[in-house]
Amino acid sequence: MTAPSASPGQAERAAISRNYRPPGAVVIEIENVTKLYKMGEEIVHALRGVSLNVSRNEYLAIMGPSGSGKSTLMNMLGCLDTPTSGKYHFSGKNVSTMTDDELADIRNREIGFVFQTFNLLPRSTSLANVELPLIYAGLSPGIRRERAEQALRDVGLGERMMHKPNELSGGQRQRVAIARALVNRPSIILADEPTGNLDSRTGEEIMQLLEDLYEQGNTIIVVTHEEDIARHARRVVRLRDGLIESDARQA
């Protein structure tokens, strides 16, 4: 949905241009990144020097067994964490040295999270959940509502806006989460085991939705340990022991 239409009007262009980069432009640039954790006396090397570039409108899967550093890499890609050493540039901005609030702003504007457990606010309606990133972005109520409604319609939940999470099926909840991820028109959508809590048929529907979003020009990164899920991606990065084991494009 961030791809420009044939002849966009001036206003429309302004609205979508903020995060717009032509397909192929580099969004994520990671160079020799390491991450150390102290677990009591022990020092854990979660990442031992990872380099990775992700371009606009890529569909990337990050795979690896548990303990491979996959979650750490995802947290770092999602600007929830900063590297111990190495460089991380997001859309040309150096993320490694940012403060917590600057990281919060990047997460708000540039990244859309989709979690395994959906992570919706349980007492809020679908609409309110999707509006939340826009509130923190400081948009006015009118624009918020309009964009949140549009995002919910885009994921096929136009009829479920006033439902609360516990009134929705798992697949519907994940759609709300995807609408929330989309609503700020982010540079990347970062999905962590997006089908992990869904049955296989619903999971397939969600993967189809991500596929559609990819087709519309979005950049998608899926973190998973399931080969079936990774098969949807056009590129698969495999991690082992904090290092990239392979990085391969697939049809």
Give the distance from CA 45 to its chain's centroid.
25
Closer to other proteins by Cβ: residue 102 or 245: 102
Residues 12-71 touching other proteins, rule: CB under 8 A, are: none
Helices (H) and strands (E) in the chain, counts: 8, 10
- Which of 60, 61, 63, 120 forms a contact with other proteins (CB under 8 A)? 120
Q: Using DSSP bridges, classify how beta strands 93-94 and 85-90 pair: parallel, antiparallel or unpaired.
A: antiparallel
Q: Does 78 bind other proteins (CB under 8 A)?
A: yes
Single out the segment in contact with other proteins by CB under 8 A; choices: 5-13, 116-124, 147-155, 213-221.
116-124
- Residue 187 identity (one-letter amino acid): S
Residues 94-113 touching other proteins, rule: CB under 8 A, are: 100-101, 104-105, 107-109, 113
Residues 139-198 touching other proteins, rule: CB under 8 A, are: 140-141, 180, 184
Nearest distance, CB of residue 76 and other proteins, angstroms? 10
Q: Using DSSP bridges, classify how beta strands 42-55 and 26-39 pair: parallel, antiparallel or unpaired.
A: antiparallel
Q: Compute the distance between CA of residue 64 and CA of residue 50 in angstroms, rounded to an integer.
A: 14
Tally of residues, the chain = 251
Q: Compute the distance between CA of residue 60 and CA of residue 83 in angstroms, rounded to an integer.
A: 21
Which residues would be at the binding site for other proteins (CB under 8 A)? Answer: 75, 78, 80-81, 100-101, 104-105, 107-109, 113, 115, 119-121, 123-124, 132-133, 135-138, 140-141, 180, 184
